[in-house]
Structure 1
Amino acid sequence: MFKELALAIPFFVGASTALPQATPGAKLAPDAKFSLMALRSASEVHFAGFDAAKSSLFLNLPNQNASCDAGPADSATFYLQDGGLYLYAASATPQQLYVDRSGMGQGKLGYTTGAQPTPKNAERTSFTLDESNDLTFNGAGFIACPNSIDGAWSVWVSAGIDKPAGNEGCLGISVRAVEVSEPNGCLYTE
C-alpha cells in the first residue's frame, strides 16, 4: 500500500500545478489586461475560461473564431475602464460588454462592436473587481447555463431569475480575473 501511495503522490502534485491558481493574490492594476475564469467547485465549468463569440460570452466554447493579432486565442482577454468592461484589442474596433437586467433581458450578458447600440434596457457600467479580483456587476454575481452553442455554457448576470431565457441546469458562479502578461488583441464575432 505504501508503495502505491508513494507512486500516486507525484501524480497528484504534478496535476495540481497544472490547474489555474485561484487563490487571491495582489489586486490587479487599474490598466491590467486579464482573462476571466469561472469558479464553481464540483462542476464542469470550474476553472473554465471565458470565451467571446456571436456578441455573447460562454464557457467551454470549442472555438471563438476570433480574428487575433497573435494567432488563435484560447480564451477572451478583457480590461476595465471607467466601470465599463471591454474585450481587449490592440488595434481593432472597441467591443464593450453590456448587461440587460430587465424582464426581457433576464440578465443577458453580451457585447457590442464599435457604435452598435445596446438593447433598449442594457447597462454598460458598474463592472468592478474586488480585493480578490472577483468580478461583479453592480454587486450582482453570475450564472452559467449549459447546452448553448457547440455544447458551451452561456454566461448571464444574476438578475433574480434562476432559469434565464428558460435555460435548465444553470449554476451560480464566481468570476475571477487573472492577469494576462502578454495579451493577444482580438476582434470577436458579432
Structure 2
Amino acid sequence: MLANALSLAALAGAAMASPCKPSPTTSAPSYSTVPSPSSTAIAPGEPFGLMALRSASPIHFAQFGAALSSVFLNLPSQNATCDDGENPTTADYATFTLSEEGELYLYRQSATPQQLFVDRSGMGQGKLGYTTGAQPGPRNGERTAFSLDDYNDLSFNGAGFLACPNSIDGAWSVWVDAGVSSPGGNSDCLGLSARAVKIAGAANSCVYTQ
C-alpha cells in the first residue's frame, strides 16, 4: 500500500496546509517502517505519489491511481505492468514525476513515456488524462502548467482538483477544477488538495493501461 511506502514527514506536513485549502483534521494512520528523507522538497524528475486531502470525506488520504488513460482515487486495481516483476494488481497507486518545464509524467525508468494532459475547454470541463508515446491528446489538451507549491500541493496553472464518485469499480474520477462543479455530467464532486509525497525506497516503474 502507498501508506507504507510514503514519507511520514511529508504526510505530517499535510497538517500545515494553508487555510484556503482542504486540510486534515483526522489523525494520520499509523506506519510500521517509514524511512525519513533528508528533505521533503521534491526535485524535478524525482518520483512521487499523490494523495487527496479533503477532511471528513471518503477521499481523505486517498491514493491517486492511473488506468484507461484517466486518473482516479481509490481505484481497486490499475492493472499496470511494472518493471520489477511485481504482480500488476499490487501496484495499487500511480507514481509521477514533474519536469522543470511543468510537464507531469507517470514514472517510467525507460521506454515510452506516458504524459498527463488537461482539457479545460467547454467539452473537456477539466478532464485530466494521459497519453502514451506519440498518441495525440485532445485538441484543447494542455501539458505544461503543472507545479508544486511550498507544501508540495500539485496544481495546474494555479487550479486545484475535483473528485467525482461512482466511476469505474467504485473509484472516484479526478478532474482539474475548470470552474465546473459537476464536470462530465457527474454529481456530488468534491474539491481536494493533491499532496505530492516522496516515495520511500524503490518507486514503481510501470506502464499504465490506455
How high is the TM-score relative to the length of structure 2?
0.79
Match of 2:102 in 1: 83
The answer to whether the 8 Å contact 2:75/2:92 transfers is no
Aligned sequence identity (%): 66
Matched, 1:59 2:43: no
- Cα 1:178–1:119 shift into 2, 3 Å: same
| 4+ runs deviating over 2 angstroms | 14-20
- Structure 2 counterpart SS, 1:150: helix
Alignment counterpart, residue 137 of structure 1, candidates 129, 135, 156: 156
In the alignment, which residue of structure 1 is the partner of 2:11? none
Which residue is 2:59 aligned to? 45
Cα offsets for 1:139-184 (capped at 9, x unmatched): 0000000000000000000000000011011000000000113111
Structure 1 contact 92–187 (Cα < 8 Å) conserved: no
Cα separation, 2, equivalents of 1:16 and 1:154: 24
Larger Rg: 1
**Could you tell me which residue of structure 1 aligns to residue 189 of structure 2?**
170
Task: Decide whether the 8 Å contact of 1:34 with 1:78 is kept in 2.
Answer: yes
Residues of 2 paired with 1:145 and 1:94: CA distance? Answer: 27
After TM superposition, give the deviation of residue 69 of structure 1 in Å.
1.3
Cα distance change of structure 1 residues 186 and 137 upon mapping to structure 2, 3 Å threshold: same
- The residue that corresponds to 1:6 in the other structure is none
Unaligned runs of 5+ in 1: 1-13
- CA–CA distance in structure 1, aligned partners of residues 128 and 79 of structure 2: 19
1:18 CA drift (Å): 3.5
Does structure 2 conserve the Cα–Cα contact (< 8 Å) formed by 1:146 and 1:170?
A: yes
Q: 1:15 to 1:166 in 2, by over 3 A?
A: closer
CA RMSD of aligned residues (A): 1.8
Distance 1:114 1:135 in 2: 23
Counterpart for residue 21 of structure 2: none
1:1-190 correspondence to structure 2 within 5 Å: 16-18=29-31, 26-70=40-84, 71=86, 72=88, 73-81=91-99, 82-181=101-200, 182-190=202-210
Corresponding residue SS for 2:184? helix
TM-score, normalised with respect to structure 1: 0.87
